[in-house]
Structure 1
Amino acid sequence: MDYKRDVIITEVCPRDGFQSVKEWIPTGTKVEIINRLIDCGYRQIEVTSFVHPKAIPQLQDADEVLKRIKRSKNVKLRALVPNVRGLERAIAAGVDKVKLMLSASDSHSLSNANCTTEQALERFTPLIELAKEKKMDVSGSISVAFGCPFEGEVPIERLTMICERYESFGVTEVSLADTTGMANPAKIKNTVRRLKESFPDFTFSLHLHNTRGMAFANAVAGYEEGIIHFDSSAGGLGGCPYAPGASGNIASEDLIHGFEEMGIRTNVSIDKVLDAAKYIQQLLPHAVDSFLLKAGKCSDLSAKPKGQKKVGV
């Protein structure tokens, strides 16, 4: 396998990470974290979600956060939008790109969006028409793509149907989300291979949660099938509030470090990401789950032993 292709990592801590934290994170703190992440070298950051405040109270200050962060022309800001009202707020806030929220299973869709997958797809029509009118970039997502906590296995035919509908909308950039960490490398390879064969013009990305410790292995499996776009969250924050057992995303520092150790360039500063993750750890120690915050980088060597001590006479 040739590991020469660079990868592109989207930081999702400000959206997926923050939404999983129950206690209120002050707006100023959110702004400070996002500013630190903007300085890390990411090409794209998922900065918030324009959902109804009652659905995710933690993100009720999305508009204010977008006003106060220090923007960079080198970093595209993406936001999740559930409906036309969310899109209107995103446009007013000046985000660069929006991402649609959709579940592969009806059970998760009913829990997350209070409608079936088909009903959610039908509601996309006016949203996409408005996005086109405003020349807003739109990407799609498929939550629980590799397994639903309510229904179990998600048939590939279900994913194919959803991609066909996205294609009919003109949306060809789609995130495949392992929302509750039910995937394994074999499943990732099989799913990605079949979808890429059916939709060769699509750009697929992987949004991996580390619920069962499989996320980095799954990322490598996806890379070996041609995926170069990945989501991750600084400090490993994250988890869908509407999916039982969902835990954090793969930590950005773990994903970046792992790829870089394999010779796969991310073009993101691991040291700056680690600094941001340490800052988050100070504020939210109970929410952080990161191997690198525990063990450090492979290059962080310990002092050599000074010499063998004599034992006995």
Structure 2
Amino acid sequence: MIVTLTVHPSLDRTVSIAEPLRVGEVQAASAAREDAGGKGINVARVIRAAGAESLAVLPLDPSDPFAAILAGADVPVRPVTVRGSTRANIAITDPAGETTKVNLPGVALAASDLDAIIDTVVDASRGARWLVLAGSLAPGLADDAYVRVIHAVRDRLGEAAPRIAVDTSGAALRAVVAEGRPDLIKPNDEELADLLEAELPAASDLAEAVHTAARALVPAAVGAALITLGGEGAVLVTADGGWAASPPPTRVRSTVGAGDSSLAGFLIADERGATPGGSLVSAIRYGSAAAALEGTQAPGPADLPTADIPVRELAR
């Protein structure tokens, strides 16, 4: 079982246009779709599509139309009752896969809402292998909200607590790294540089640069780091080593949710006992599959690229 928490869910509206975006002009859409989104929900959808068990925790108003869309996503959920409508995120994607996003603010949460979310997450995490805390924090939550979740899960469940993966950015990620000691973080290269408040070191390639940078965190502050690099693949850094892999040739239709699918692919493989290199390959396959789909569709096993994905070990 993999449990996810999304405190800032979204209705993802993806609009496809036949030509590159022309700012300030009127353009016709060639297609549009809506998906129940938010990073943790995306991860849960991919895990479910792979035939593994997942459970998504999120704040939700029972009268919100988002509830019906979420029900259609076939993801088991544990909602925490709040008042207000789920935000909408709008993505505009052109034929080259270039994506422009506009993210709206969501439902503001109070301290009492976070207390209820924490209680629900602790209960849902009993018997789970992984807990994924993913996405931006909802308005009203302090930067250390994820830290509070981590401490509560570990304090209340003790040795039975699941491993904890965090996929967020900015102040929320800095707080987690400073105070939460997560088992895994999943920044991209820009988020990693922002976390370290420094430019990536000079290196022969991007993978080498992020590997060197991540060594400032692993294992001193976090158990491991999965750093996604878009079209250049991903890097996995653990206490035991570092590995890099590049994606197979992919016709990119939408990059929205590709990082979430990469994290899901990693966790699916890890839960099934894969090696670090095997888990990294799974992350690459799922991320590439998501990028080849329109909108924020959850790739399933039939969508995964079958081309060989070599993994190279990075020198420490």
TM range (shorter): 0.3 to 0.5
Higher relative contact order (CA 8 A, sep 6+): 1
Using structure 2 for the length normalisation, give the TM-score: 0.38
Higher strand share: 2
Structure (1 or 2) with the larger CA radius of gyration: 1
